[in-house]
Chain A
Amino acid sequence: MNSHPPSRETRYWLRNVRLVSVLLSVWFAVSYGAAILLVPWLNGTRIPGTGFRLGFWMAQQGSILAFVALIFVYARRMDRIEREEGLDERDQRDEENAP
């Protein structure tokens, strides 16, 4: 019904929601998937050169590292989306300028 092209705020919001959905699927897969539901199956394999069973390693190391990576990916992508949509915050009083 909408005859106008979507505003940049709307576009920004849709891109944000899409990005968040993708990242949360990964979040679910590495923790609830690989570190809980699939553990019996993954534990059949050991990480080559170490004593780690794969499922156990995902639960105690891998998932945590993935969480850290997910947030940094999100922060980077959002910076870009904001620049592209012209919605990045203008510097107000703070001296350190955003690149």
Chain B
Amino acid sequence: MSVQAWTFVIVGASFALYIAIALRSRAKSTGEFYVAGGGVSSVANGLATAADWMSAASFLSMAGIISFTGYDGSVYLMGWTGGYVLLALLLAPYLRKFGKFTVPDFVGDRYASQWARIVAVVCALFVSFTYVAGQMRGVGVVFSRFLEVSVDTGVVIGMGLVLFYAVLGGMKGITYTQVAQYCVLIFAYLVPAIFISLQMTGNPVPQLGFGAAELATGQPLLERLDGLHAELGFAPYTDGAKSMVDVFFITAALMVGTAGLPHIIVRFYTVPKVRDARWSAGWALLFIALLYTTAPAVAAFARTNLIQTVSGKEHAGLPEWVGKWEQTGLIVFDDKDGDGRVRYVADAATNELSIDKDIMVLANPEIAGLPDWVVGLVAAGGLAAALSTAAGLLLVVSSAISHDLLKRALCPRISERGELLAARISAAVAVVAAGYVGIHPPGYVAEVVAFAFGLAASTFFPALVLGIFSRRMNASGAVCGMLAGLAFTSAYIVHFKFLAPESNDAQHWLWGISPEGIGTLGMALNFLVALVVARFTPPPNAQVQGLIDRIRVPRDADEPRAAPKVETQRT
């Protein structure tokens, strides 16, 4: 069978599986639609969270980014895993105890303020929507590369599928398809990694393999890679090129941003008990770590392989896959000195080869000469990653509209059936809107995603943590803090990314902090402003104090299914 036939078969089978699961788990109430009725086991929720979290960017781009930046790529590895520690220790158990449906629910009730609720809804919508646009684009790219349809057709197919199971099953349908999607994506990621590790080092465990000696030369792989980098004029692979300050701030912004992302937080509402929320955060990170510890190994293998395959070789004699990717424009060879050989060096003036970092994972099976079915598997894995994340995000968008805006703010008397219908309609509208943005991308998707993290870090995280750990924190403090964090972070990012992109370099940055890392400072500002303002305004009332007492202890977790009424009595 050809690569394309394998891809059709494997992708088709995985899609059939998702649809079958969706048909079996239809949502009948708003509780099932928003939080799967609160009855998901901690391991299943861990699997679903891992799939929800790992997007097309984690699956397709991350290893490529690390491959091209070496040590600097660690900011993503640590940033996108370390946030789970904050989430598990500071947020998940208490939000589960609070036990409503959404993040704005908590902000609105804890601060007893419609203002705070609206600010939270706007942030949730912005963060989730920017994120989902990138996912739909990812679906289109994978489809176009492997099924040879246009990117636009790919986006439409992806939209149809997400529409089907998100609108039908809500959180319940999404949760169980995500469990299946995690299995598909992790299998698809590990199989080629194990193959390549065996080929290059003889060790089947990639995490160990990239610390071992290369079979071909007998030299430790990473030492060899540092040597190759030095020859070609790149910064040493294991040192990187970013300043320490910047690495520190970017890592912190990504960690805190991760802990503040609404589509991840909301997953912890779906487990039955507070202790399940803690365990499930552990499971989620374990499943995520399986991919995140493999990625740097894949990156190092791919980098070594790539340099050895192309550097200094005759262009005409390069393997077939190079030509295939050249056709897509993702590899470009420009023979500047006209000698027909590939000169791949750090110096832009004499470098002749440019490679798009997104192709590293997709091209890896071909670079290593793996069997055709592995290529099909990688395509199915990339689609699973993109679809699962898109579905989780769309649910946040739809619940922000139907629950936070309609039910809790605009028309509180809406019936259960009316709200469920509104949730389905807003999910459908959100899918179509996301598909539209996926077909007509604004051209700065990557910048916008950095924005989403910075914003989540500088708005939600402090408001949530202070709401749980400080009795003194009140609505004025929280709202002023969120607005200060929001204003500072967006002003900094908008200035460097959109208004004056030519001055976006270390010289002009505040204390050497790049726009990717500024969310950390925004978060600090948020905390500071919130604490100062709360100091000079009255403390929260007795009802809110009761709510704080109630979320701090695990006993009497109320079911999300029950009427949303604050219960103050405790045992």
By a beta-carbon cutoff of 8 Å, the part of chain A in contact with chain B is 9, 12-13, 16-17, 20, 23-24, 27, 31-32, 35-37, 39, 43, 47, 50-53, 56-57, 59-61, 63-65, 67-68, 70-72, 74-75, 78-79, 82, 87-90, 92-94, 96, 98
Tell me if B251 and A36 are in contact (CB < 8 A).
yes
Per DSSP, are chain B's interface residues mostly helix, strand or loop, or mixed?
helix
Report if B5 contacts A (CB, 8 A): no
Tell me if A64 and B223 are in contact (CB < 8 A).
no
Tell me if A75 and B555 are in contact (CB < 8 A).
no
Tell me if B292 and A64 are in contact (CB < 8 A).
yes
Cα–Cα, bound, A34→B474 (Å): 37
Report if B405 contacts A (CB, 8 A): no
Report if B281 contacts A (CB, 8 A): yes
Tell me if A56 and B293 are in contact (CB < 8 A).
no
- The residues in B between 219 and 253 inclusive whose CB is less than 8 angstroms from any CB of A are 220-223, 238-239, 244, 247-248, 251-252
Tell me if B275 and A35 are in contact (CB < 8 A).
no
Closest B-chain residue to A75, C-beta based? B278
Tell me if B88 and A59 are in contact (CB < 8 A).
no
Number of chain B residues close to chain A: CB under 8 A = 58
Tell me if A9 and B552 are in contact (CB < 8 A).
yes
Cα–Cα, bound, A32→B79 (Å): 10
Q: Which residues of A contact B221 (CB under 8 A)?
A: 51
Partner of A61, one of B207, B213, B279, B553: B207
Tell me if A51 and B223 are in contact (CB < 8 A).
yes
Tell me if A31 and B211 are in contact (CB < 8 A).
no
Tell me if B275 and A51 are in contact (CB < 8 A).
no
Cα–Cα, bound, A72→B287 (Å): 13
Q: Which residues of A contact B222 (CB under 8 A)?
A: 51-53, 56
Asked, given contacts A82-B554, A87-B553, whether A71 binds B74 with beta carbons under 8 Å apart, the answer is no
Tell me if B275 and A64 are in contact (CB < 8 A).
no
Closest A-chain residue to B70, C-beta based? A56
Closest A-chain residue to B39, C-beta based? A94
Tell me if B85 and A51 are in contact (CB < 8 A).
no
Additional pairs, 12, CB under 8 Å, beyond known A71-B89, A96-B41: A43-B238, A50-B220, A51-B221, A52-B211, A53-B238, A59-B71, A60-B66, A60-B73, A64-B81, A64-B293, A67-B81, A75-B281
Partner of B82, one of A12, A31, A47: A31
Asked, given contacts A36-B247, A82-B554, A92-B559, whether A56 binds B71 with beta carbons under 8 Å apart, the answer is yes
The total of Cβ contacts below 8 Å across the A-B interface reads 145
Cα–Cα, bound, A52→B85 (Å): 25
Q: Which residues of B contact A98 (CB under 8 A)?
A: 273, 275
Q: Which residues of B contact A51 (CB under 8 A)?
A: 211-213, 220-223
Tell me if B247 and A67 are in contact (CB < 8 A).
no
8 A-B residue pairings within 8 Å (CB atoms): A16-B552, A51-B220, A51-B221, A60-B66, A60-B296, A63-B81, A68-B285, A89-B555
Name the distance in Å between A60's Cβ and chain B's nearest Cβ. Answer: 4
Cα–Cα, bound, A82→B554 (Å): 8
Tell me if A50 and B212 are in contact (CB < 8 A).
yes
Cα–Cα, bound, A40→B211 (Å): 19
Q: Which residues of A contact B556 (CB under 8 A)?
A: 89
- The residues in B between 73 and 98 inclusive whose CB is less than 8 angstroms from any CB of A are 73-74, 77-78, 81-82, 84-86, 88-90, 93
Name the distance in Å between A16's Cβ and chain B's nearest Cβ. Answer: 8
Cα–Cα, bound, A74→B251 (Å): 22
Report if B533 contacts A (CB, 8 A): no
Partner of B211, one of A32, A57, A65, A92: A57
Encoded as 1 (CB less than 8 Å from any A CB) or 0, chain B from 295 to 328 comes to 0100000000000000000000000000000000
Report if B272 contacts A (CB, 8 A): yes
Report if B540 contacts A (CB, 8 A): no
Per DSSP, are chain A's interface residues mostly helix, strand or loop, or mixed?
helix
Interface-central residue, B71, B85, B208, B285, by most chain A CB under 10 Å: B85
Tell me if A35 and B78 are in contact (CB < 8 A).
yes
Cα–Cα, bound, A78→B554 (Å): 10
Q: Which residues of B contact A56 (CB under 8 A)?
A: 71, 74, 222, 238
Tell me if B74 and A37 are in contact (CB < 8 A).
no
Name the distance in Å between A78's Cβ and chain B's nearest Cβ. Answer: 6
- The residues in B between 555 and 569 inclusive whose CB is less than 8 angstroms from any CB of A are 555-557, 559
Report if B156 contacts A (CB, 8 A): no
Asked, given contacts A57-B211, A67-B82, whether A9 binds B553 with beta carbons under 8 Å apart, the answer is yes
Q: Which residues of A contact B71 (CB under 8 A)?
A: 39, 56, 59-60
Cα–Cα, bound, A88→B278 (Å): 13
Encoded as 1 (CB less than 8 Å from any A CB) or 0, chain B from 527 to 571 comes to 000000000000000000000010011111101000000000010
Partner of A87, one of B66, B289, B555: B555
Name the distance in Å between B14's Cβ and chain A's nearest Cβ. Answer: 27
Report if B433 contacts A (CB, 8 A): no
Report if B282 contacts A (CB, 8 A): yes
Interface-central residue, B238, B248, B285, by most chain A CB under 10 Å: B238
Tell me if A75 and B220 are in contact (CB < 8 A).
no
Cα–Cα, bound, A34→B93 (Å): 28
Q: Which residues of A contact B85 (CB under 8 A)?
A: 23-24, 27, 67, 70-71
Name the distance in Å between A98's Cβ and chain B's nearest Cβ. Answer: 7
State the 9 A-B residue pairs at the shortest beta-carbon distance, nearest first: A51-B220, A50-B211, A59-B74, A71-B282, A60-B296, A75-B278, A56-B238, A52-B211, A51-B222
Tell me if A82 and B275 are in contact (CB < 8 A).
yes
Cα–Cα, bound, A75→B469 (Å): 19
Cα–Cα, bound, A90→B554 (Å): 10
